[in-house]
Structure 1
């Protein structure tokens, strides 16, 4: 089953093996509740009229069934779709598309996705362009939790949520924004200070979710963000940016400590942390061994290495999406998330 160990409190720790965590400690998953950023967004930003952070137009979705752009920042499926498929539950629809039915708790029993492209741990990240992580928790998920309790009763709602899986992917935008606006942002706070603040904020946010029923969590760690096309373009050599990668590793370390502390404080809390950083960095260092021909340039975009702007109808795009790691300036291709989720579910830890 791979690298899954169970503590005396029944907690899945270190670091991959989502399937192991779910099967050996938790039983079948009733539903998925997804929060986070554009990695996980399946169309919530489509419902934000003033936001420019959208993907509901070509060439996004070119490999999605029917070639349809849905709001996913991808050429096809994103990782949430693949988690749902592996667990045998429907891929959660965007909350903004179903909230008109919120008086019917059966809608919320089946899985809901609250994620919004551009969101960060900090409320200062992409302010006004997205549904912030705090808003996802305090407003949108709070309403779902409220409806479930009103219509099912507190005990049944609690039991349902305890058998559901919460999926969270957050933190990358906080790091990217800091790097893009450096060195100005460095005048205000150091990289370590920013990561410390992110960790403290994330602790509050995850505790709120625990208080409202979260008992099983799949947390997606930050990728090697310094190696994405957007950040590479900042370097004259187009190599990975050490500052961004340092912040990614520090953020992941903080998240792991936080999750471990939560599991010690709450023996009924089970988690799996996915080490995206290690898994992707291996492919970046040895692309051919992992089935890639291109790990520096984006498949869809404009300019040098297609690293200008998100994918749009005016963009050029690659023909062979299965040979590219990145779909656009920062988001992975469908084949990349397929490879990552295979690691997660097979439990095969990346080589050191």
Structure 2
């Protein structure tokens, strides 16, 4: 009888033990119903492949050399980008490109999320003039409104709102607006850098309000990095140092963005957000690369010319044998390794990088 009681006791113990493990392992994934991604080439997973005249494409080698099956998918990376890693963190598949849906009648595909991100896109319209065609944030928000209406038809208004309230809306944009400003001497004569970034912040605020109108409640807003340190900017300096004018504008934009989000929370009580200071994290990686496992700070892995920054990564380009050594894949975009580190910080990083909370804490609200 004692032996039988022991077996029963152990049975109950293991039942509760494995039940507890299952709760710990899957609770976070269950809390996020979908990820809706807005942004530029840092998170584009293939939307630009469907834009006929766009020059901002990455659907050819050597892009994707470390992606499954060595496939170039339209990601500006040697492998996965930040959108992929964020989805992995919450146990969801990567949100597919919105333009990949030939028929919008299949509404069920929108439930786990969708990506509207487009290489060359900006907060302002026209940031893609150099690349002929992209999907600016204005249009991305319009596409999202279409998805919202499809979800309402499928689930009903109440259930659609419940679904979206547990979803993440990730916004990664702003770099192309700053590149556009510092590449346009006429624009610089019309407005100061501070006036320009203030208008960027104000315009983004209006877009966020629109997303709130369409059910958005949890926002992951990613600040602009020290883009003056990209190989594409460094090679313009004879010293190959970071371009401080564009870095200064990036930092000022982030500060304005942080303040704006606080104002937005005051105006819209039912939203919550996590602002990620990409600038601080990426600058730390650049200044102390060895502590993150990197060896090359200045040059791109794939490209042509000085610092591999005279061109994007093309089939005729040279690319490095060890991508893990490099912070930058091409003249503007991080390697898969760098993107992975950034998303680790976005998801579960310390308070100095995420305000007022990180994404893991945002999910738990």
Q: Normalising by structure 2, what TM-score?
A: 0.86
Q: Displacement, 1:258?
A: 1.3
Report whether the alignment pairs 1:114 with 2:116: yes
What's the CA shift string for 1:134-190, capped at 9, x where partnerless?
Answer: 00102x111111111122221111111111111110000001122233x44321211
Match of 1:134 among 116, 138, 147: 138
**Aligned partners of 2:267, 2:46: CA distance in 1, in Å?**
35
**Aligned partners of 1:96, 1:236: CA distance in 2, in Å?**
41
**Distance verdict in 2 for CA 1:51–1:79, change over 3 Å:** same
Report whether the alignment pairs 1:254 with 2:256: yes
Alignment of 1:13-28 (within 5 A): 28=31
Unaligned runs of 5+ in 1: 1-22
**Aligned partners of 1:253, 1:69: CA distance in 2, in Å?**
36
Q: Displacement, 1:83?
A: 0.5
Structure having the larger proportion of residues in helix:
2
Match of 2:36 among 27, 33, 42: 33
CA RMSD of aligned residues (A): 1.8
Structure having the higher Rg: 2
What's the CA shift string for 1:26-59, capped at 9, x where partnerless?
Answer: 9810000001100110000000010000000000
Report whether the alignment pairs 1:149 with 2:152: yes
Q: Which has the higher contact order (CA 8 A, sep 6+)?
A: 1
Q: Is the 8 A contact 1:279 1:350 kept in 2?
A: no
Match of 1:334 among 328, 333, 336: 336
Q: Displacement, 1:346?
A: 2.8
Q: Displacement, 1:298?
A: 0.4
Larger CA deviation: 255-264 vs 301-310: 255-264
Unaligned runs of 5+ in 2: 1-25, 354-365
Match of 1:47 among 23, 45, 50: 50
Q: Displacement, 1:304?
A: 0.4
Q: Is the 8 A contact 1:120 1:172 kept in 2?
A: yes
The aligned residue for residue 60 of structure 2 is: 57
Q: Normalising by structure 1, what TM-score?
A: 0.89
Q: Displacement, 1:24?
A: 12
The aligned residue for residue 93 of structure 1 is: 96
**Aligned partners of 2:351, 2:120: CA distance in 1, in Å?**
29
Q: Is the 8 A contact 2:28 2:90 kept in 1?
A: no
Match of 1:242 among 244, 250, 268: 244
Q: Is the 8 A contact 2:182 2:188 kept in 1?
A: no
Q: Which runs of 4+ in 1 moved over 4 A?
A: 23-27
**Distance verdict in 2 for CA 1:91–1:285, change over 3 Å:** same
**Distance verdict in 2 for CA 1:205–1:25, change over 3 Å:** farther
**Aligned partners of 1:221, 1:342: CA distance in 2, in Å?**
15
The aligned residue for residue 23 of structure 2 is: none
Q: Displacement, 1:345?
A: 2.5
Q: Displacement, 1:299?
A: 0.4
